[in-house]
Every structure is written in structure tokens, then in C-alpha cells.
Chains A and B, each alone.
Chain A
Amino acid sequence: MFERIMSSKGWWRLFQAYGLVFLIFLYLPLALIFVYSFNANPINMAVWTEFTFDWYKTIFFGAGTAGSFDAAFTESPDRIFEVVRNSAIVALSASTISTVIGTATAIAIRRYDFVGKKVYQALLVLPMIVPDIVLGIALLIFFVGAGFELSLLTVIIGHTTFLSSYVFVVVSARLAGMDMSLERASADLGAGPLTTFRRVTLPQIMPGVVGGFLLAFIISLDDVVITYFIAGVGSQTLPLFILAMMRRGLRPQINALAILLLSFTFTVAAIGLYLRSRKS
């Protein structure tokens, strides 16, 4: 009996059904805000009135430009632009700096043997598992103690500290698969250390470097907890801004903003995956 079920088509169907349910579980919430972002009802987004692009329009052009929305339901485009700009500056700078630091560290760790290397490696990975809230408080205490004024700069520095760990891990994985004798061969053929890095090492680990950069970028872009502690008054990022908006009530414009952020993140990830498939 049992075997008949196992080998039957029914079993396979059950499997498919399970997969489908799981996918729905994963994506239903995202699908909901996607749908809600086109719902014209300004009071209760769960009650459908009619289809509209207006929430998206208000993000770019402000209240009153699209429909008859009261300014009470929307934030001004200037304000949105400011926080998006802040987020872009932070994410780009922090991920760029941490890509340089993480990659250089990974290469050095691979190449040189020294006392306490294992401990050093473990310490490098630790920031990834330290709870965000602890890291946030620690950074805040550090910045205040060191006399920093909280600003975009402190956010960038804070992000760089833990993002370097992520890049280090991703690039290290790639380096582990690289044949060390390639660098020796390059030196043997007359290339100095810099030429060897540029012509051999970097092309070999490029997928890892790009992957690490994109990962760092996405993590930085949507970080809330750590940023919450170390962002100054004028340095609110997009996720913090959305959080603040939510505090004042669930308003439909948030859905549109969230969908835009999501689309952007997916695009970045897709580019990353594409580059990776092309390189190998």
C-alpha cells in the first residue's frame, strides 16, 4: 500500500502541491503590497476601490499632482529624494570601501602565514553574527566617546565595519578555489607584484569581488537596526524614513515606495547573478 503511494503519480502531485504552498507562503506578503500599491483607497488599503498609479506619481511629483490626494497621506518628493540620496551615498561608499578592505584582507590571509592566523580569521567573521542591536549600540558608544558628530559619515563608517566581513567571506571562498601557482607563474614570466595582481589575481577573483560588493550594497541599503543608532538628524536613510512613516500610520504611499525599493534590489541581484554566470 505504502509503496504504491510512494511510486504513484499522486505522490508526485503532493510534492508539487507542497512546493506551491511554500512559494505562496514566501511570496504572498510581497504580492499583497504589490497589489495594494495600485489600490486607490487612501483610508483602508485592504478594501479595493480602483486601480491607480497615483501613489507612484506622488513619490516623484508630490500630492495634488496626480489625483485628489490630501497631503496628509503623502510625503513630499523633496524629502523622499533626500533620504534616497542619503541611502545611495551610504550604500555606495560603504560597499566600495568594504570591498577594497575585505578583498585586500582575504588576499593577505590567503598568502601569508602568521602566528594566530586562525584566531584572526575568526575575529574577521564575527561581526556577521554579532546581533545588530549590539553592534549598533557599540558603534554609537564608540562614536560618542570618540567625539564624532552623528552624520552620514558615521553611518558609512559603521556599515563598513561589518560589511567588510561579508566581502571578506565571499572573496575568500573564491580565492580558496584559485590555484596559487598562477601567481607564481606570472612572477616567473616577469610580472611584478602589481602587474600580477591586475592581470592574474583580480580577473580570477572578480566574480567574488563583484558578488561581495553587491551583497554589501544590498545589506547596507536596507539596514535598519544599526543605522538607527548611528544616523544623525540630517542623515536619515530610506529604510529609517519608511519606518518613521509607518509610525504615523500605514499609508498607501509606503507600498509604492516599498515596491520601488524591492524592484531596485532585485535588479541589483539579477545583475550580480548574470555577471557571475557569464564569468564562469
Chain B
Amino acid sequence: MDGFLQIRSATKMYRTPEGGSIRALDDVTLHIRSNELISLLGPSGCGKTTLLKCIAGFEDLDHGDITLTGQSLTRIPAHRRPFNTVFQNYALFPHLTVERNVAYGLDVAHVERKERTRRVGEALEQVGLAGFGARMPNQLSGGQQQRVAVARSLVLKPKVLLLDEPLSALDRKMRESMQIELKSLQHSVGITFIFVTHDQEEALSMSDRVAVLASGKVQQLASPKEIYDEPQNEFVANFVGTSNIFKGKVIAKEGRTLTLKTANGRELAVASDRFGVGDDACAVLRPEHLKLSGEARDRAIKGTVTQSVFVGSEMHLHVDVGLGRTAVVRHRHNKGSTEAAYGPGADVTLYYTPEAAHVIECKGA
């Protein structure tokens, strides 16, 4: 394991105004590698910003510690840590020009003028803002302010760049182009980016690895593909992408193939190495793994379409399969074909390959 930035058993409590206390971070352990883009993904209030603040040194942990290449950061104040932050609202200094903003860290470190000018120019160039040096922050668009914030941090050549939902204030088009830019920037400067987001698509598309957080705990740390294909628990399965989750009990096992019996007596075939007869388990099926079929097949699920939503490239069909949940199916339609067959009320049969199903433990099944 690469021992670059290690967070061990980090716990952080906040007092609530009512006099109680909440665990914003609950025993978080993460090993972050050098030179990777890692996302902290989770719903609002799950502790992403808190974790970032603890890494940056704006908050102290109640338990646990954070080390950088083996050295504890506990006693090192924020302004001496080799990390820089891009804040959620950018936090550009409104009384300074773009150039002075970017030069701020170098000024404070008493970097000699010639070198300062050179590095500021370089950093502005890097984020595509050469020629904007004389502007004031309020004369820039949101996307440009964002770049200034990135340049202001990168100019100091930090070991780690912390980004707190840096794209959330931008419109969709801008956000998508900034995602690509940030990713390639991370490549070219070759440092670790810790990227906080609540947008799962953003996390999946940009990251080398994703840490999914919920209520102060790490749910899963893995590559985007693994997170999507093999979610570790129900939370991850639901939060990342759309999932059809069917709960049941394993009633038979044949090689890797399990037969899962749901509460209302349906039997589903799924593939897994882990579970044995008698275990409770949940089958996770992504919409794209459920196929529609007109005719009856083995291991098929019968259902009735309740809703069909046209999203351009495909149809999203909501199918009542009598399992307590509606299943979502993606159906590519061909131009000119008769889609009326899959309108609300249509009887359909869904099938899937047992290998496509991912089986996880059920909580409270």
C-alpha cells in the first residue's frame, strides 16, 4: 500500500445548537495515493467538507490521525501544510486583482519578484487565463473565477490539491468542460487531487478512485468501475447510478449460481461466490442489464409497464414486477419501430444473465 496520505480512524464531533452532538466523521480510514484523483462522493451533510477541513488543518480531529508520508500532521497548522484548497465558493480576495490573488501565496512566502511574476504567468497560462491578470474577481464569470482559484492554489506547487465541490456552482455545459480540464490538469501537474462532489456521474467520470461516504462513514473505496459494478452495500448501489434491488433468501446453490427466493415467492437466479443456502441476500440489477422480451424465457420476470419515459437516446420503462419495487429498464428504441407495445399497461417479460446480477448483504432483510 502506498503510504502517501493516510487517514486513520478519523472521528470528528460537532456540538449541535440543541446541546447534543453529531459525528460528522465516524472512524474514517482512507489511504490516499500520490498522484491520483480521488473523489469523496456522498449526499449533502455526509461529512465531505468536514473531512477536507481536517486534512487542510482548519479543524482538529477528535480521534484518529492523518499522516503525510509517515509524518503526523496533527500539530501542523493549516498554513504550514503542503496542501491547498479550492473552496466551494472560490473565496477569491475581492480587493485584489486576479494577478495579486494568484500571487498571494508567493507574496506571503516572500518569493522574489522575478520568479513570482514568472510563476503567476505560468499558472494563469495553465488554466487558460493568460491576459486576465489585471481584472478584479467580480469582473469574471463563475467558470473563470473557478480557474483563478485553481491557479492560486497550483502556483504554490502543493503536494495535494483539495477541491470542495468546485463545479457545483457552474451550469451543466461549463461543468462538463471543467471536469475534463481539471482531469487533464491533474495529469499534467502530477499531484494528488482530492475532489469532493455529491454528483455521482462527476465522480465516476473524473476519478481514479472514489470513496463513497454516508453519515460520516466510508461506505466503499474503489475504482469507479468497481463502485458501479460491484457496490458493497445497498447505500452505494442506490446512490451510484440506478439500481433495481431485490431482497430474498438463498434457497439453493449450484456452483456459483444461487437461487434467491423473494418475500412473495418469486425465484431469481444470480451468480455469487459468497453466500450459502439460508443466507439473506440482495440482488442488484442495473437497468441496462435487464432486457425486454416478448416471449417467455427461463429465469424471466413478468411484469407490467407503469410508466415509460422518453429521454432521447432510449426509453426508461418502469415495470411493476410484483416484488414491492418497480424495476427500471432501459430500452433502446429504433427509429420507426412500434414503441406503442411498451406503453403503460403493457405486459412485458424481463430477463438477465445471472452473472450480471451483483449480490450484496441485505441490511434489515
Contact = CB atoms under 8 A, between A and B. Distances in A.
Given A184-B58, A204-B95, A189 B156 contact: yes
A181 B105 contact: no
A185 B91 contact: yes
A190 B79 contact: yes
A199 B107 CA distance: 10
Contacts of B56: 188
A181 B107 CA distance: 19
Contact of A187 (B78, B92, B107): B78
Contacts of B153: 188-189
Contacts of A185: 85, 87, 91-93
A195 interface: yes
A199 B108 CA distance: 9
B1 interface: no
Nearest to B102: A189
Given A188-B56, A188-B79, A189-B84, A181 B91 contact: yes
A187 B57 CA distance: 10
Contact of B91 (A182, A192, A195): A182
B78 A188 contact: yes
B308 to A, nearest CB: 46
B95 A188 contact: no
A157 interface: no
A108 to B, nearest CB: 18
B93 A192 contact: no
Interface in B71-108: 77-80, 83-85, 87, 89, 91-95, 104-105, 107-108
A66 B95 CA distance: 53
Contacts of B91: 179, 181-182, 184-185
A165 B80 CA distance: 36
Interface in B260-308: none
A190 B156 contact: yes
A200 B95 CA distance: 8
B109 interface: yes
A181 B95 contact: no
Q: Which of A184, A186, A189, A199 has the most CB of B within 10 A?
A: A189
A191 interface: yes
A203 interface: yes
Interface in A181-217: 181-182, 184-192, 195, 199-200, 203-204
Given A181-B87, A184-B58, A190 B108 contact: yes
Given A195-B108, A203-B95, A204-B95, A188 B89 contact: no
Contacts of A200: 93
Given A189-B156, A190-B156, A195-B108, A184 B79 contact: no
A189 B83 CA distance: 9
Contacts of A187: 58, 77-79
A98 B111 CA distance: 37
A188 B85 contact: yes
Nearest to A189: B105
Contacts of B89: 179, 181
A200 B105 CA distance: 12
Q: Which of B77, B104, B107, B153 counts the most A-chain CB atoms under 10 A from its CB?
A: B104
Contacts of A179: 89, 91
Which of the listed residues A184, A188, A190 has the most CB atoms from chain B within 10 Å of its own CB?
A: A188
B330 to A, nearest CB: 41
Interface of B: 56, 58, 77-80, 83-85, 87, 89, 91-95, 104-105, 107-109, 152-153, 156
Interface of A: 179, 181-182, 184-192, 195, 199-200, 203-204
17 contacts: A181-B87, A181-B91, A182-B91, A184-B85, A184-B87, A186-B104, A186-B108, A188-B58, A188-B79, A188-B84, A188-B85, A189-B79, A189-B105, A190-B105, A195-B108, A199-B104, A199-B108
Given A181-B89, A181-B91, 15 more contacts: A179-B89, A182-B94, A184-B87, A184-B91, A185-B87, A186-B104, A186-B108, A187-B78, A188-B58, A188-B85, A189-B153, A190-B80, A190-B109, A195-B108, A204-B94
